[in-house]
């Protein structure tokens, strides 16, 4: 497991622990579950990306990581609005934002490299 996979795993676990510490509110049950699902998905998608069958497959899976991280960020900001003094939501929303930036950069670099390779002239070797 590489450092980025460990970071995603830690993020997921910390979100789960933070949600468990929030006061019980039946009206927020579905929102809490949605955050838990969204925050636990990026690690799984990134693990799948590590064994992607092609660059296109890798980009697709990194896109799924980004989608789930952005959703996690949204729900963390939602809970930060409801519990503005909750330090866990502040720290975790910052972490989600940083992870979004990291994976957006990965996707951009891989996409740029892919575009450059597609524009190369065909090889003269048979």
Please state the domain count of the chain.
1
The verdict on residue 64 lying in a domain is: yes
φ/ψ of residue 5, rounded to 5:
-65, -40
- The yes-or-no verdict on residue 79 having pLDDT over 60 is yes
Summarised one tens digit per residue, pLDDT across range 42-76 is 999 999 999 999 999 999 999 999 999 999 999 99
Residue 89 falls within a domain, yes or no? yes
Residue from 1, 15, 124 nearest 75 by CA:
15
In a domain, 59, yes or no: yes
Looking at residue 26, which CATH number applies to its domain? 1.20.1440.60
Q: pLDDT per residue over 108-120, tens digit each?
A: 999 888 654 433 3
In a domain, 88, yes or no: yes
pLDDT digits (tens, 9 = 90+) for 81-95: 999 999 999 999 999
Query: Are 8 and 42 a contacting pair, CB within 8 Å?
Result: yes
| Residue 123 forms part of a structural domain | no
Q: Quick one: which H or E segment has residue 8? A: helix 3-21
Its pTM stands at: 0.86
- Note the pLDDT tens digit of each residue in 11-23: 999 999 999 999 9
Distance (Å, whole) CA 58 – CA 80: 32
Is the pLDDT at 124 greater than 50, yes or no? no
* Residue 96 Cα to chain centre, angstroms: 7
Average pLDDT, the chain: 91
Q: Which domain covers residue 80, as residue numbers? A: 3-117
In terms of DSSP H, where are the helices of 22-122?
29-49, 55-82, 87-118
Q: Does residue 98 belong to any structural domain of this protein?
A: yes
3 state SS of 95: helix
């Amino acid at each position: 497991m590489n450092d980025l996979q460990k970071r995603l795993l830690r993020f997921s676990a910390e979100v789960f622990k933070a949600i468990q510490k929030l006061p019980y509110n039946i009206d927020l049950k579905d929102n809490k579950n949605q955050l838990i699902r969204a925050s636990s998905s990026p690690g799984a998608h990134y693990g799948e990306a590590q064994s992607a069958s092609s660059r296109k497959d890798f980009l697709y899976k990194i896109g799924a990581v980004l989608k789930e991280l952005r959703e996690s960020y949204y729900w963390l900001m939602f809970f930060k609005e409801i519990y503005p003094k909750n330090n866990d939501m502040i720290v975790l929303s910052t972490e989600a934002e940083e992870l979004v930036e990291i994976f957006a950069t990965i996707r951009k670099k891989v996409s740029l490299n892919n575009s450059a390779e597609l524009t190369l002239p065909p090889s003269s070797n048979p």
